[in-house]
Amino acid sequence: MTADPTYRGFALDAETALALLQWQAELGADEPCLDAPLDRYAMPDRAEPSPAPATAAPQAANPRSPVRDEAEDLVARAEAMATAATTLAELAAAQEAFDGIELKKGARNFCFCDGNPAARIMIIGEAPGEEEDRQGRPFVGRAGQLLDQMFGAIGLSREAVDAERALYITNVLTWRPPGNRRPEPAEIAMMLPFLTRHVELAQPQLLVLMGNTPCIAALNQQGILKLRGKWTTAFGLPALPMAHPAYLLRTPLAKREAWADLLSLSARLEG
Ligand code: URA
């Protein structure tokens, strides 16, 4: 939208602008975009540093790049903010306030956790999708409904008050990536200090790594179809990688293996 008082022939007062926006949302538009592509890398704050003057020291003498320095600074800032938090509420406030991640600008809601923080099991997913972004809670869309059914089948629920039967749920990213694209390595690196602290403060007994992204974040490994079903250690705790429910929705045949993983989890809890 522009500051122009008209837009394609409409008088663009606040009410009309809102009505136009709502109309587009009803038609299914869920991402703002411009008429022409915007090259963000060419914008002044993102532009590559200008070539070094002829008199500057050769590159080999200073192998650090400003872009890498900036990324490392952001991770260090995330670490400092996460470590300073002593409760889950403080951590949520710190993570929400952290401005280093660009995704925050495009997301509607901060999506920190759902379920019972006293649960023995903590599920770590990838990132909020459209419905999660709308509600500010993880796993509340179609994949989340399947997740609830899956864990319900072994007697666990995010609504349970009894810690023995409860689930606690979070994601690697707390802000929705545009168009549900995969999280980028830099985004995972920036959120990892918060996730690490989240696990420390929630103190679950077991972790479920739901899909590839939490395996990348917690294990530095990917290939969920090979990793799934094999108990490992993440953040110092027993952890079970499982196929993501969104994958199971697309690949119903894989539900058989997911059921085996749920039984393994249930046996571990009973044991
Ligand atoms: N997929 C995820 O990994 N997390 C959510 O919260 C929703 C979908």
Nearest ligand 1 atom to alpha carbon 213: 3
What are the beta bridge partners of residue 166?
157
- The label of the residue with tokens 């059921």 reads 259
pLDDT > 80? residue 43 = no
143 lines ligand 1 (CB under 6 A): yes
Mean pLDDT of the chain: 87
Query: Higher model confidence: residue 15 or residue 129?
Result: 129
Query: Higher model confidence: residue 9 or residue 130?
Result: 130
Question: What whole-number distance in Å separates Cα of residue 159 and Cα of residue 235?
Answer: 25
- The pLDDT score that the predictor gives to residue 81 is 98
- The pLDDT score that the predictor gives to residue 53 is 43
**What superfamily would CATH give domain 67-270?**
Uracil-DNA glycosylase-like domain (3.40.470.10)
Residue in 106, 133, 218, 122 with CA at minimum distance from that of residue 172 = 218
Residue in 205, 270, 267, 266 with CA at minimum distance from that of residue 235 = 205
Query: Higher model confidence: residue 260 or residue 30?
Result: 260
Phi, then psi, of 123 in degrees rounded to 5 = -100, 130
Name the band, by pLDDT with cuts 50, 70 and 90, for residue 100.
Answer: very high
- The pLDDT score that the predictor gives to residue 65 is 78
Nearest ligand 1 atom to alpha carbon 171: 4
148 lines ligand 1 (CB under 6 A): no
- The pLDDT score that the predictor gives to residue 198 is 98
The letter for the amino acid at 213 is: T
- pTM (2 d.p.): 0.78
Pocket test for ligand 1, best of 244, 247, 248, 250 (most atoms within 8 A of CB): 244
Name the band, by pLDDT with cuts 50, 70 and 90, for residue 7.
Answer: low
Query: Which range is least confidently modeled, 39-53, 116-130, 151-165, 225-239?
Result: 39-53
Structure tokens at 70: 């900036």
Name the band, by pLDDT with cuts 50, 70 and 90, for residue 251.
Answer: very high
* 178-216 burial code (b ≥16 CB/10 A, e <16): eebeebeeebbbbbbbbbbbbbebbebebbbbbbbbbbb
Name the band, by pLDDT with cuts 50, 70 and 90, for residue 105.
Answer: very high
> How much of the chain, in percent, has pLDDT values that exceed 90?
73
- The pLDDT score that the predictor gives to residue 11 is 61
- The pLDDT score that the predictor gives to residue 24 is 63
Element (DSSP H or E) covering residue 169: strand 167-171
114 lines ligand 1 (CB under 6 A): no
- The pLDDT score that the predictor gives to residue 6 is 62
Pocket test for ligand 1, best of 132, 147, 215, 248 (most atoms within 8 A of CB): 132
Question: What whole-number distance in Å separates Cα of residue 33 and Cα of residue 177?
Answer: 14
Question: What whole-number distance in Å separates Cα of residue 183 and Cα of residue 172?
Answer: 9
Question: What whole-number distance in Å separates Cα of residue 245 and Cα of residue 210?
Answer: 8
- The pLDDT score that the predictor gives to residue 70 is 87
- How many Cα atoms occupy the beta-carbon half-sphere of 91 within 13 Å? 23
The predicted-structure confidence for 187-215, as pLDDT tens digits, reads as follows 999 999 999 999 999 999 999 999 999 99
What are the beta bridge partners of residue 252?
none
pLDDT > 90? residue 264 = yes
